[in-house]
Amino acid sequence: MAKAKGTIGILTGGGDVPGLNPAIRAVTVRALREGYRVLGIRRGWAGLVDLVPDAHADNSSCVQELTEEIVNRAGRTGGTFLHTSRTRPSHLPDTNVPPHLLDRYSDQINDVTPEVLKNIDFLGLDFLIPIGGDDTLSYGKRLHEEGVKVVAIPKTMDNDVPGTDYCIGFSTCVTRTIELTHRLRTSAGSHERFLVLEVFGRYAGFSAILPAMAGAADRCVIPEHPFSMEHLCDLLSHDRRKHPSNYSVVLISEGATMTHHDDMLYESKETDQYGHMKLGGIGDQVATQLKALSPRFNGGRRVNVLSQRLGYLVRCGDPDAMDSIVPMAFGNLAFDLVLSNTSGRLISLHNGCYDTVPIDVVTGHKKVVDVDKYYNTERLRPKYESFHRQPTFIMTSDV
């Protein structure tokens, strides 16, 4: 058997999205046919934290060798067969330190990057390809600074990784949001209600504003612009009176805030390793307040509200066409960089063209909706002013 030209590691971190498995497949198939060995790192960065650098240790829960048979079978499906986590090796809580490292790391929060570097060396990785959002990729940037050859692939439902117009998972999110919103219209119309749908979007409103632009909702509220409940209720009441079935629809980004309440709403005060508390509840709070305010804008009569958090319904299942094609291209672009021995880059899509940018961009700034350009703050809906020479998904990054 010929010696491999090199060894590539692939991992997926953060939330699952459709399109991860096609990206893994694209890298793996190309690499194997070019004579490289490919290792799948399991559970995101956790696989490189928990791995025991001993040839006799059972590390099957941390790493697996990838073959065409494995990735071809998984490549048609959603989620990530390598599994994922929100592990952050530079900020690892003592409760997550693996047993074999407890004698060296006993602080409440630990930076176990030296162990990650040892494990990368132990596995013989020539290149590491993390697939994730800005949190996952920010640690990829850290490893790049430590001398690891890193090529990053962006994914997130929120489409908010800086440096690229498109992130894996976003198209399926938009597709499902439109589909589910239209399905829920039948109930909203039957009962003549306001329909309130909470969607993903911690800091950026792309996953609310784009479905609204496509006609899924009458209004949308996004994290970039605090909204007035009275104003929203007035607009929805107007929309409801105009609709033949006497209902109206609003999409609420999970990170949206009200003008009289500056903070996002959280399910609990517990934070993940990237310092984020789990969002949730803005949709239900909006629904409750709409119901209470509705008599003021509907001739004294109360309007009931149908409230639904779409959540994992837009994250699960198989990828759509866009999230099958883009990951294929992203994976091949990543391997092109491996072949040219180029690292420290983020795969990107800008104005309809595939490209790469420096990985530093993932920590440079937040990618959010340009409110002045794309959002009508008076009407709480997207602007439809000019689409000339705009890319497929309209709202671009600032690369």
The predicted-structure confidence for 295-310, as pLDDT tens digits, reads as follows 999 999 999 999 999 9
Q: What distance in Å separates the CA atoms of residue 220 and residue 138, rounded to the nearest whole number?
A: 30
Domain check: are 129 and 30 in the same one?
yes
Whether 279 has a pLDDT exceeding 70, the answer reads: no
pLDDT at residue number 364: 86
Q: What distance in Å separates the CA atoms of residue 355 and residue 348, rounded to the nearest whole number?
A: 5
User: Which of these, 72, 208, 152, lies nearest to 359 by C-alpha position?
Assistant: 152
Domain check: are 65 and 100 in the same one?
yes
Q: Which two tokens stand for residue 341?
A: 């021995």
Domain check: are 272 and 359 in the same one?
no
Q: Tell me the per-residue pLDDT of 363-387, one tens digit each, with 9 for 90 and over.
A: 988 899 999 999 999 999 999 988 8
| Beta-sheet pairing, 248-253 with 194-199 | parallel
Provide the H-helix boundaries in 243-321.
Answer: 282-297
Q: How confident is the model at residue 268 (pLDDT cuts 50, 70, 90)?
A: low
Domain check: are 102 and 218 in the same one?
no
Whether 87 has a pLDDT exceeding 70, the answer reads: yes
Report the CATH number that the domain containing residue 130 is assigned in CATH: 3.40.50.450
Q: Please name the residue that has the structure tokens 């703050």.
A: 377
CA diameter of the chain: 81
Does residue 392 fall inside a structural domain? Answer: no
Domain check: are 254 and 136 in the same one?
no
> What Cα–Cα distance (Å) separates residue 383 from each residue in 58, 248, 390?
56, 19, 13
| Whole-prediction pTM | 0.94
Domain that holds residue 81: 7-168+319-363
- In the 8-state DSSP scheme, what is residue 39? E
Does residue 33 fall inside a structural domain? Answer: yes
pLDDT at residue number 132: 97
* 3-state class (DSSP) for residue 227: strand
Does residue 394 fall inside a structural domain? Answer: no
Domain check: are 240 and 265 in the same one?
yes
pLDDT at residue number 398: 62
Total tally of structural domains belonging to the chain: 2
Please enumerate in sequence order all residues whose Cβ is within 8 A of that of 101, keeping only pairs 6 or more positions apart, or say none.
112, 115
Q: Which long-range contacts does 182-186 make (Cβ < 8 Å, 24+ apart)?
A: 182/216, 184/306, 184/308, 185/247, 185/249
Whether 204 has a pLDDT exceeding 70, the answer reads: yes
Whether 280 has a pLDDT exceeding 80, the answer reads: no
- In the 8-state DSSP scheme, what is residue 150? B
Does residue 391 fall inside a structural domain? Answer: no
Domain check: are 309 and 323 in the same one?
no
pLDDT at residue number 399: 47
Mean pLDDT of the 94-110 span: 96
The active-site residue out of 126, 158, 218, 320 is 158
Whether 271 has a pLDDT exceeding 90, the answer reads: no
Domain check: are 258 and 351 in the same one?
no
Q: What distance in Å separates the CA atoms of residue 353 and residue 235, rounded to the nearest whole number?
A: 38
Domain check: are 215 and 157 in the same one?
no
Whether 91 has a pLDDT exceeding 80, the answer reads: yes
Does residue 387 fall inside a structural domain? Answer: no
For 376, other C-beta atoms within 10 Å of its C-beta total 14
160 is catalytic: no
Q: What is the mean pLDDT of the chain?
A: 94
Q: How confident is the model at residue 393 (pLDDT cuts 50, 70, 90)?
A: confident
What beta strand segments (E) does the chain contain? Answer: 7-12, 37-41, 63-65, 92-93, 109-110, 127-132, 151-154, 194-199, 219-221, 248-253, 266-271, 277-279, 305-309, 345-350, 353-358, 375-376, 381-382
Whether 278 has a pLDDT exceeding 60, the answer reads: no
Does residue 224 fall inside a structural domain? Answer: yes
Domain check: are 161 and 73 in the same one?
yes
Domain check: are 111 and 233 in the same one?
no
User: Which of these, 127, 122, 148, 150, lies nearest to 8 by C-alpha position?
Assistant: 127
The per-residue b/e assignment along 14-52, b for 16 or more CB within 10 angstroms, e otherwise, is bbbbbbbbbbbbbbbbbbbeeebbbbbbbbbbbbbbbbb
pLDDT at residue number 282: 93
What DSSP assignment string belongs to 151-173? EEEEB-TT---TT-S--BTHHHH
HSE of 355, CA atoms in CB hemisphere, 13 A: 12
Please enumerate in sequence order all residues whose Cβ is within 8 A of that of 365, keeping only pairs 6 or more positions apart, or say none.
162
Whether 274 has a pLDDT exceeding 80, the answer reads: no
Q: Tell me the per-residue pLDDT of 4-37, one tens digit each, with 9 for 90 and over.
A: 899 999 999 999 999 999 999 999 999 999 999 9
